[in-house]
Structure 1
């Protein structure tokens, strides 16, 4: 178990001293031992200091996955600064907003984004230097080699921020969650304990490093001294090949990626015997994809529920609950809290603790929590209570066995005639209809009930959706007050760059000029 008083810098130094020649990180043909990684991080720390970057400052990365991003986070930890990793999937105005919000003084840019960064350069208020990483214009290696390894690490406190990851904005611009030495190392220790991950293991980091499923998962491996195999992009066939050839023991994927993996030609012929744990999350897992994944990989699936504000995972549904038909109902749950995490259901209006199966807001208490949102004290105070609970904003309940069920975002909950209706519950039912390819349920005004559910659907290829038939399909499977009263058939659903459905855009035309009651 990691000492809670440790810092990231002291941990990396310990690994370098204890296993200097063991491989720490692999990226394509690049290999780094622990001693080499430690030296590169210390050179980068010296280079950052030479640029005038110090405690409290921010730097930023706009790139696909690359070892430089991991090294930059480690170097920031060493000098008291923070790495703000930019979501490269965002539109230029959002990228511009994020870099300026972080007040980044240095921007590392991958070759795929050099032109975009050049186009934004005049709008970046605080960036003093843009450093190209990789490709023909690479400046990063010279940046490191020009400086001697740093010998005087900043005396960081466990609560200091060294990584700043932005929460995806479905209602506005994203917020920078300040992730700390203590929080990230606690998360690493908790996940490693529950997923039996140690120094001899090999961790595939496939998700983008701007997401906790990328950076935080990398720090799970770094925390334990396990080897990281970093993927540039989450290509389904390449990741499956990596598992087979690199002896991957642990990985984190998202359901959409897993669905694509099950369709890769020859997928069943590869060797996945080294894999012990496949974590998946960030979006619901369709049951057909789950069944196909179990058939392909065997009983190794761990559904995880988490959030950026808690450095990643807070609950897990283990392999035994994926395969036991006696508890098949648990497949729609988020499992039970992991080590070091307490979860309760609270009344979102009063904060009162609720009982078994009573719906409310999911609250989380753990030493994994962020220190707050960067330069947003009011948002921080709304998210974290005075006694240390994180209000997740997710609606849900906990059953008698302690399993957490996530129903929906509290702000998306529909209050119809005094009844709380969770769109996710309706969406799960409608998604089973063969004519439905995509679905979102929203609340729209109703003179009698206040608001009622409306289904917005996209038809599956080669089919058409009959609204009356779809409503009848729902009535056979849901209480009447939960059933959509109307159906809109759309060409596509509006989404933000990370793929989340923008329900505010769907609701907007119906609530224009009217007040919508939200908790």
Structure 2
């Protein structure tokens, strides 16, 4: 089975069902099918290469374009339209495409024309005419469906190769774990070039006959309006989005009463945000875990689990183990080690990077996540930090996340980032950067005392600085490495 056949089957089964609603229109099964055929015809006429780039904002037409690429027997390469010109052109060259399907409005918005032979503008396609009837071209389960580029928090973006089988497996795993039904309505805010948005908010509605509501821009007050209008049941977002929802002064618990599942992913959910959201809207936020390399989901905490602070149990078919990263030895329950993953959703490798692909897997075929974690006796996974971000302070292992949780809990702090700085006495020391809540001022001595009252001495930041905005990537994740240049000059 491949995505082209699976989606065609779903659309034919539900031709008049509304699958998607975005900022401009709604899309029934037949609408997505016809639009996809038009796009497949257009791409066929303009390129013979196997990979097709996509620069399209979060919308129903993104889904139609991806479907069109797949029924044409090609590989979709959704691209991050928030990248700078140099990086985007690097991605285009690296993936080897000579054609991009794009929104003209989006190209005008980003302010430059990507360096590619052909740009097919969606606005120029006559979607109202009848397309050439066609069946999806054959693609094997292990053939590539998408190449998704990592956000590049540590160097150049890498193309993660995901097969039809990877994506179909993960959609099915999520479907089984969170019990998606046709009556469910997804609220889609996350970009579809991100694996979380692609699998969770695009493929799942199309494959399982439910509905997704999209908007291209995250404006908290507008989101509350969409919730009131469409009464969604499942919301997938990142922590900063949940935090921003708390700023909508007239939002009430009744507005959020339609939800049965609020899932947070992409980065750890601050305990302060979890608590304030539950107190105000009477809704628990549960955490999920995954990576681009795992298509992406591996774990989702369910509200009935009552294990806040964990990311839940593994999805069906996902095999997790915690190992000593130095020697690969499997560690006992509730012991910190590197999380490694095996399953049908795990990537085929990194495009054009054979050595990095080999290094990404251990001798037993498990993907090395680079995340430090522990699994308890009941199978619940807790992420404790990134191996590369771990500081060794006076011989003690320290992860940024624990310090950031404390900083973020201060009423004046909107968000924070912590990195290590070399220190002649202790090897490394933590340095904190804080982004304040709107219209807030604070004494940094007070913030340090706040940390002293809640952390062991060696975990208290040696220095704390206020910055206007923390550096983030296209999915909202804090880029800690971008904070490093701010260490100079040092301040007392």
TM-score for both structures, normalised by structure 1 = 0.85
Deviation at 1:491, TM superposition (A): 4.7
The alignment status of 1:88 with 2:89, answered yes or no, reads no
| Cα shift at 1:314 | 1.3
Change (3 A) 1:141 1:68: farther
2:372 and 2:389 map into 1 onto residues whose CA distance is 9
From 161, 168, 188, the counterpart of 1:178: 161
- 8 Å Cα contact 1:73/1:162 also seen in 2: no
In 2, distance between residues paired with 1:481 and 1:147? 66
Per-residue CA deviation, residues 30-55 of structure 1 (Å, 9 max, x unaligned), is 3333233223323322322222335x
Instruction: Find the residue that maps to 1:331 and give its secondary structure.
Output: coil
Corresponding position of 2:290: 306
The answer (yes or no) to whether the contact 2:272–2:408 under 8 Å persists in 1 is: no
Which residue number corresponds to residue 202 of structure 1? 185
Corresponding residue for 1:128? Answer: 117
Distance across 1 between alignment mates of 2:78 and 2:149: 8
Partner residue in 1 for 2:94: 101
2:317 maps to 1:340:
yes
Q: What is the RMSD computed on CA atoms of the aligned residues?
A: 2.8
How far off is 1:230 after superposition?
Answer: 2.7
- 1:20 correspondence with 2:15: yes
Distance (Å, rounded) in 2 between the aligned partners of 1:9 and 1:491? 46
User: How far did residue 77 of structure 1 move?
Assistant: 1.9
> Structure 2: which 5+ residue stretches go unaligned?
none
* Cα distance change on mapping 1:230 and 1:434 into 2, 3 Å: closer
Partners of 2:10 and 2:207 within 8 A in 1 = no
Q: Show CA shifts across 1:146-194 (max 9, x none).
A: 851323x322111112222211111212112122211111111111111
User: What does 1:209-224 align with in structure 2 at a 5 Å threshold?
Assistant: 209-217=192-200, 218-224=202-208
Aligned pair in 2 of structure 1 residues 246, 255: CA closer, same or farther (>3 Å)? same
2:347 aligned with 1:370:
yes
Bigger shift: residues 168-177 or 100-109: 100-109
Q: Give the secondary structure class of the aligned counterpart of 1:73.
A: helix
Calculate the TM-score normalised by the size of structure 2: 0.89
SS at match of 2:98: strand
Which of 29, 32, 39 does residue 34 from structure 1 map onto?
29
State which of 394, 400, 407 in structure 1 corresponds to 2:371: 394
What SS class does the counterpart of residue 501 from structure 1 fall into? Answer: coil
| Equivalent residues, number | 487
Q: Deviations over 1:214-257 (max 9, x none)?
A: 21111122221222333233332333333333342222122222
Question: Distance in 2 between the 1:35 and 1:414 partners?
Answer: 54
Aligned partners of 1:114 and 1:132 also within 8 Å: no
User: Deviation of residue 259 (structure 1)?
Assistant: 2.5
Q: What are the residue-to-residue correspondences of 1:101-500 with 2, within 5 Å?
A: 101-115=94-108, 119-121=112-114, 124=115, 127-133=116-122, 138-141=123-126, 145=129, 147-151=131-135, 153-217=136-200, 218-268=202-252, 271-299=255-283, 301-321=285-305, 330-458=307-435, 461-467=439-445, 469-500=446-477
Gaps of 5+ in 1: 1-5, 323-329, 513-519
Distance change >3 Å, CA 227–CA 487, structure 1 → 2: closer
Correspondence for 1:517? none
Distance 2:372 2:359 in 1: 16
- Contact 2:23–2:59 (8 Å) recurs in 1: no
CA contact under 8 A between 2:253 and 2:280: conserved in structure 1? no
Distance in 1, matches of 2:110 and 2:406, equals: 43
